[in-house]
Amino acid sequence: MTKTKTKRSYLIPILSKALDVLELLEKSAGTRSLEDVFKKTRIPRTSIFRILKTFEHRGYIAHTEPGRYQLGPRQRRLRFGIAVQSAEMPFSVAVTESIAQAAAAAGVELLLLDNCNDPDIAILNAEELVANRVDLAIEFQVNERVATRVANIFKKANVPLVAVDVPHPNATYFGVDNPDVGYDAGSLLAQYAKHKWNGKVDRVLGLGFSEAGTYVEARISSAFDGIRDRLPNLPADRFLRLEGRGMRQSSRLAVADFLRGQRKGQHILVAAATDSSALGVLDAVRHAGREGEFAIAGQECIPEVLEEMRNYNSAIIGSVSHEAHSYGPRLIQLGITLLRGYTVPPYNYVRHHVITPETLDAVHTDEQAAEPRELGREPVKITTQDRSTPTCRPSEPLLEVPGTPGPTVGQ
């Protein structure tokens, strides 16, 4: 088919030149000077200057530094990048699904990568998000050792950063108040010991997550505080920390090793930093045939723990809900607010509440009602694009959510 030609008399020369300039900036990865634009387009410098100033005034381009310009936010939809903790961690999956749904509803494009619980991959993913020119990054990586390096990657690229659950330098924090959720778990365990064991406790275990740093470790230290406040006569030597790394297998092995040197018939309270860790403890005590000696409290209220609580004989007596369904809407709104130039609090906390077998049905029903889904919408499935090797591969998009028309920075 022959392309239809438009009569030159119908064209507006200065408008054509302006569009040439705009298209050049659109294709550019970085900034351009007036001289750069002149060399590429051969439009007179005086015309280029007036075109650039007009586009800047209307919000189509941004004057980023003296004499240099780049495409402004008005010309494209917001693009958020998120690096999630792990596609194999239930709480991480729930948070990711919530973010993906909220991004689609808000018209925000989303680039999603998997940190695979690996600090080295987290660094590579941060570089990948910057290379993809995201407007804002949401970082859910749990290794404090690389938090400064990850945050610095975004800082150098001038990309605003929101850190989920683990604080990062120069980042806006979003997540639970770790001391508060820890204290609530400890209070629950102490109340259970008073009611079921007449206050007699032989051991208190804290299954920690030291690599996540002191703030996340506060879930354990504050749980110990909650127990001490309600059982003040417990000697200090009955409190013991074990390293669970927030993971099921690590926690199972740590508790199995602990049990080898312990007599049977004790009363043992366990505060776990995550529900995955709590399930690992449960695996170990069940295998040893000692479940009746334990009372375990977790964090996050993942589905498998909720099912355990429906079994009134389970050693898991409760968990603190972090309301994973609320992460998405609030994170997307927080990101949009930051990009619009508004001041936000440095720490933004989600609500939390304790769930026990007695309150499970009522609370779970309320959470489901608070999170409407589109009819026929499938949950987001977080899987890497290539599972041909057993190791997690860095920098592979798990999901790209294009977003429907929604807000931009310029709006």
41 pLDDT more than 80: yes
Same domain, 225 and 314: yes
Residues 88-109: tens digit of each pLDDT: 889 999 999 999 999 999 889 9
B/e letters for 189-210, b = 16+ CB within 10 Å, e = fewer, are bbbbbeeeeeeebebbbbbbbb
Q: Is residue 46 a part of any domain in this protein?
A: yes
Q: Is residue 409 a part of any domain in this protein?
A: no
Same domain, 331 and 391: yes
pLDDT of 248 reads: 96
404 pLDDT more than 70: no
Look at residue 361 and give its three-state secondary structure: helix
DSSP secondary structure of 143-181: -GGGHHHHHHHHHHTT--EEEESS--TT-EEEE--HHHH
- In terms of average pLDDT, the best of 3-17, 193-207, 350-364, 392-406 is 193-207
Same domain, 312 and 202: yes
Q: Is residue 5 a part of any domain in this protein?
A: no
Same domain, 306 and 368: no
Residues 269-327: tens digit of each pLDDT: 999 999 999 999 999 999 999 999 999 999 999 999 999 999 878 999 999 999 999 99
Q: Is residue 4 a part of any domain in this protein?
A: no
DSSP secondary structure of 174-209: EE--HHHHHHHHHHHHHHHHHHHHTT--SEEEEEE-
- The number of distinct structural domains making up the chain is 3
Under a CB-based contact definition with an 8 Å cutoff, are residues 325 and 100 in contact? no
Same domain, 52 and 98: no
**Which CATH number goes with the domain that contains 54?**
1.10.10.10
Q: Is residue 167 a part of any domain in this protein?
A: yes
CA-nearest of 411, 79, 152 to 161 is 152
Same domain, 193 and 315: yes
pTM to 2 decimals?
0.73
Same domain, 292 and 250: yes
Residues 313-367: tens digit of each pLDDT: 899 999 999 999 999 999 999 999 999 888 999 999 999 999 999 998 765 433 4
What are φ and ψ of residue 318, in 5° steps?
175, 170
**Which CATH number goes with the domain that contains 208?**
3.40.50.2300
Same domain, 313 and 363: no
Given pLDDT bands bounded at 50, 70 and 90, which one contains residue 11?
Answer: confident
Same domain, 335 and 291: no
Q: Is residue 2 a part of any domain in this protein?
A: no
Same domain, 172 and 192: no
406 pLDDT more than 90: no
373 pLDDT more than 60: no
Q: Is residue 7 a part of any domain in this protein?
A: no
Same domain, 16 and 52: yes
Same domain, 152 and 191: no
Given pLDDT bands bounded at 50, 70 and 90, which one contains residue 61?
Answer: confident
Residues 190-206: tens digit of each pLDDT: 999 999 999 999 999 99
Q: How far is 49 from 69, CA to CA, in rounded Å?
A: 11
Q: How far is 173 from 164, CA to CA, in rounded Å?
A: 6
CA-nearest of 185, 199, 215 to 356 is 185
Q: Is residue 375 a part of any domain in this protein?
A: yes
* Domain around 36: 12-74
Residues 127-136: tens digit of each pLDDT: 999 999 999 9
Find the helix or strand (DSSP H, E) in which 288 lies: none
